[in-house]
Structure 1
Amino acid sequence: MSAHVLIPTTSNLPAPRPAPDRSGTPTPGRPNRERGSSPHEGERLRPLSRGQVEDRRQELGDLYAEVSGGGPWAWNEARADFLRHLASDARRPGFSLLIAETTVLTGCAYGFPLIGAGPWRADFGGHVREGLLRRVAPGRLFVVSAIVVPPRVRRENQDRAWNLARRLQRRLLADDGAALGVTLVEARNDGIAETLRSWGWRSAGDGTLTAVPPGSCRVLVLTAGT
């Protein structure tokens, strides 16, 4: 078992459906406002309780499927996969889920602290160097399982503090009081690894994406406040 960052990419899901040009991409005669104040900063972030997560489970699944794109079969498969992971992680101690919304749901992210000595920690420890587990205080290592955001957030202004993915991941760690975020990415998912790096994630132990054997996982970490 491993953690999964559920970010739709061209490497594992169909390309997103075309959307109206609301992303701030420059066009002739139109300044690029994205490099100044964010036109998307009106998106509010707030946590959901476990009961609220259950109440909005179907809506969260719809969000993931919608940003994934593709036809009906791919839509249903993506939605079912997301909901399976969500149901599993929601049972973990300290589970936390944030949503982003305007008048509609626009994104979400969730995870849980790595605490205790349960089976998940034992599995996780098989991928992570002991030095990483020792360098943070118990309970201050937070596993980020999912970041679900629209395609524009993955493609544009990834280095800006107001990028929605950065806001979500930063708030998750802050709310938990975590010192370090961590996730496992399957070795074949280069697109997911590169997307995470654009949001400030780094390979554990160094600043590069090192080669890993097929079937194994990359370990990526995120410093709180990034």
Structure 2
Amino acid sequence: MTARIPGHPEITRAGPPGPHWTLDEEARPRRLGTPPQEGEFVRPLTRRQVEDRMGELGALLSRTSSCDPGIRAPSNQDSGTAFRKRLAGLVRRPGFELLVAEEVGAAGEKVISACAYGFPVSGDGTWWRGLDGYLPEVLSRLTPSGKLFAIGDILVERRVRTQDQSRDWNLARRLQKRLLADHAGALGVTLADRADADTYRALLSWGWRRLPTTASRPSRFDSRCLLVLD
């Protein structure tokens, strides 16, 4: 997911991010026809909280992912296990942030209904999933300054993928906007799996777009493509 920077013709900057929901948002019962923010609020988890709620996050992945494009699990490991293992490593990266959306369950408990996470891509040679192979030069130049932010996953229920995708209060849009707003001036990027058409279409509906084919090195036959967010 991407923002754009002045001074680069290929990458034009959209307007400033709109207001995002603060930590004191209160979850209220969902009423028919009301926007999603009426029933769900967004907040970050600390590293310890991520570790404590890893089981819930793995269950969320199983419940929301159509094909889980980012995970290449070994044959003896299901996608939920692979996801938790990968997340346990990523959470230690400098600048890592994971946001959850929570709603109030039937017994009054808070239940994770969505999450998104990401981290700044540094220029120290540590890359995310081979991301450097997909970055055009104009984006690679941002890594030393920490102005490139990789969003690893946006896990949301199917209704968020298929309903009101263009609305600012769409839960996926709120999550990705909040991640980038918390890293002011950063350009967001993500890799999409061409085989997961459902997720690819959802990302496009939330404002993501592909760079021109001449801007990145992989051929059109490559299994993944780079997406950016305005």
Fold conserved between structures, TM > 0.5: yes
Quick one: distance in 1 between partners of 2:49 and 2:123? 26
Q: 1:122 to 1:151 in 2, by over 3 A?
A: closer
Quick one: distance in 1 between partners of 2:128 and 2:65? 30
Quick one: distance in 2 between partners of 1:197 and 1:181? 14
**Of 50, 53, 60, which residue of structure 1 is paired with 2:50?**
53
Asked if 1:196 corresponds to 2:203, the answer is yes
More helix by share: 1
Asked if 1:105 corresponds to 2:112, the answer is yes
Deviations 1:45-87 (A, max 9, x none): 11011111111111111122223489xxxxx823223213312
Q: 1:132 to 1:205 in 2, by over 3 A?
A: farther
- Residue 63 of structure 2 corresponds to 66
Listed as ranges, the gaps of 5+ residues in structure 2 are 1-29, 68-76, 105-110
Q: How many residue pairs get matched?
A: 182
Quick one: distance in 1 between partners of 2:185 and 2:147? 4
Quick one: distance in 2 between partners of 1:185 and 1:68? 13
**Of 214, 218, 221, which residue of structure 1 is paired with 2:228?**
221
CA RMSD of aligned residues (A): 2.8
Among the aligned pairs, what percent are the same residue? Answer: 46
- Residue 20 of structure 2 corresponds to none
SS at match of 1:120: coil
Q: 1:98 to 1:50 in 2, by over 3 A?
A: same
SS at match of 1:119: coil
What letter corresponds to residue 60 of structure 2 in structure 1? L
1:194 offset after TM fit, Å? Answer: 1.6
Quick one: distance in 2 between partners of 1:45 and 1:147? 13
Listed as ranges, the gaps of 5+ residues in structure 1 are 1-21, 25-32, 71-75
TM value normalised by structure 2: 0.70
Asked if 1:95 corresponds to 2:96, the answer is yes
TM value normalised by structure 1: 0.71
